Amino acid sequence: MNKPVTLMREANPEPLLNATPWKRIEGTNPQTITMVSSQSPDGRKITGVWICTPGKWEIDYDRWEYCHFHEGHSIITPEGSDAIHLKAGDIFTIEPGTKGTWEVVETVRKNFIFVS
């Protein structure tokens, strides 16, 4: 059984360098640090912090993500949709099946929750 409450301040995550699975767009070289604070035993729920330097990715979401930006500026452009500018303080979700690009304009720090 999972713990009923997980306190993130008690987490001691290992920083994972460049663990983001998305394909970098040619000519950009974003660098990432991912710190997983908690993960369910089946791997279907993951929470943590993601930091990324400027660059651009092709995205193809296979699960739901909740994000809370604390620093930076990104532009997500879903296929067939207008660009969405995201800045510090923004809270948003991304649905499974979302494809397009994610550009980090200014280094981003965000909390995330993935659920599949």
pLDDT mean by block of 10 residues, the chain; 116 residues:
77 91 93 94 94 97 97 98 98 98 98 96
Buried b (16+ CB within 10 A) or exposed e, 94-112: beeebebbbbbeeebebbb
Q: Which two tokens mark 106?
A: 């200014």
Model pLDDT, residue 2 = 64
CATH of 15-115, one of 2.60.120.10, 3.90.220.20, 3.40.50.800, 2.130.10.10: 2.60.120.10
CA angle, 40 then 48 then 103, to 5°: 125
Amino acid, res. 74: S
57, burial (CB in 10 Å: exposed 0-12, middle 13-18, buried 19+): buried
